Amino acid sequence: MKLTIVGCSGSFPGPQSPASCYLLTAHDGERAWRILLDLGSGALGAVQKYMDLQDIDGIFLSHLHPDHCMDLCGLHVAVRWDPDGWAAGRIPVWGPAATADRLATAYGLDPEPGMSEEFDFKVWTEKAAVQLGPFRITPYAVDHPMEEAYALRVEVTEYDGTGVDRTVVLSYSGDTDSCPGLVEAAQDAHFFLCEAAFQEGRDDAIKGVHLSGKRAAEAAVQAGVRRLLLTHLPVWTEPSVVVAEAKAVYPGDVAVAVAGVHYTI
C-alpha cells in the first residue's frame, strides 16, 4: 500500500500544504485502487498532481469539519460540469449521517437531490467495516466536538502474483483527544497517521479537541504501532516541539507529515 500526503495542515490550509487529505493506493491483483481519507479545504487542487479525478474509487471522511471535507464541493463541480462528460459514475463517499445535507447546505443546494447525483453517500456505522477493492475500512468513534467523529482503520491485503499475500494496517486518527476508540483503531498497526495539533504546556486547558505529540505517542505505545507519523499541525504548532514530545514517550520511528511525500507500507 502506498500513502501520499496530499494535505496535512491542521484546521485550515497553510502556506506549504492544504488541509487534511491522504491518498492510499493498493492493488487487488487486477488493478490499482485509489481512495482518499478526507478531502479538506484546499486539497482538491493538490490531488490532481497525483491522479486523475475520475480515478477516485472512494472517499472516506473522518468527520465534517471543513478542513476535512469541504473540497467535496469543488469535486461536485468537477463531476457535474465537466464539458467532456464524467464517465466514471457516482463517487462513493462514506461519512457521518449528516454528510449529504451538510455539503448541500455548504453549496446552497436543495437537499433533494443535493449532491447525490454526483456522489453515492454511505453512512458510517461504528466498528462496522466496509470493503472497497482491496481496502477494508473500519470507523471508531473518537473524542472531538462534532456529532460524529471517527478514527479510521484501513486494512489491505495485496496480491503480488507470487503466492505470498501480505496484509498491512494503516490507522488514521482523524481529529481527536485521547480516548479508547483511538487506541482500538490503531491496535498493532504498521503505520499510525496521527494528529498532533496541540503542544504540551500551551494547550493543556483545552479538552476533547486535539492531541499533542505526547498524547499521540501515548496512544501509539498503548496500541503497539510500528511507526508513528504526526499530522494535522496548524501553522502555529512547531513540528520540532511535537516530535520531541513524541520521542520522549514512543521508542519507535517518529516523523511529521509533509505534503507531497510518499510512503510505502
pLDDT at 9 over 80: yes
Average pLDDT in the 9-20 region? 98
Band the pLDDT of 250: cuts 50, 70, 90: very high
Average pLDDT in the 211-225 region? 98
Q: What was the pLDDT predicted at 139?
A: 99
Contact partners, residue 38, CB within 8 Å, separation at least 6: 20, 21, 22, 59, 60, 61, 62, 68, 69, 174
pLDDT at 183 over 90: yes
Interatomic CA distance for residues 140 and 150, integer angstroms: 5
pLDDT digits (tens, 9 = 90+) for 228-244: 999 999 999 999 999 99
Instruction: Decide which of 3.60.15.10, 2.60.40.10, 3.40.50.1100, 3.40.640.10 is the CATH code for 2-264.
Output: 3.60.15.10
Distance of CA 86 to the CA centre of its chain: 25
Q: What was the pLDDT predicted at 161?
A: 64
For residue 121, what is its C-alpha cell? 453517500
In the chain, how long is the greatest CA-to-CA distance? 54
pLDDT at 163 over 70: no
Pairing between β-strand 21-27 and β-strand 262-264 as defined by DSSP bridges: unpaired
pLDDT digits (tens, 9 = 90+) for 26-70: 998 899 999 999 999 999 999 999 999 999 999 999 999 999 999
pLDDT digits (tens, 9 = 90+) for 185-215: 999 999 999 999 999 999 999 999 999 999 9
Q: What was the pLDDT predicted at 237?
A: 97
Q: What was the pLDDT predicted at 50?
A: 98
pLDDT digits (tens, 9 = 90+) for 86-118: 999 999 999 999 999 999 999 999 999 999 999
Band the pLDDT of 130: cuts 50, 70, 90: very high
Candidates 18, 16, 15, 23; CA nearest to 41 is: 18
pLDDT digits (tens, 9 = 90+) for 141-162: 999 999 999 999 999 997 766 6
From residue 195, give the alpha-carbon distance in Å to each of 15, 109, 171. 18, 32, 11
pLDDT at 164 over 70: no
Q: What was the pLDDT predicted at 252?
A: 96
Distance of CA 89 to the CA centre of its chain: 23
pLDDT at 220 over 80: yes
Domain boundaries, the chain: 2-264
Band the pLDDT of 166: cuts 50, 70, 90: confident
Phi, psi (5° rounding) for residue 241?
A: -70, -50
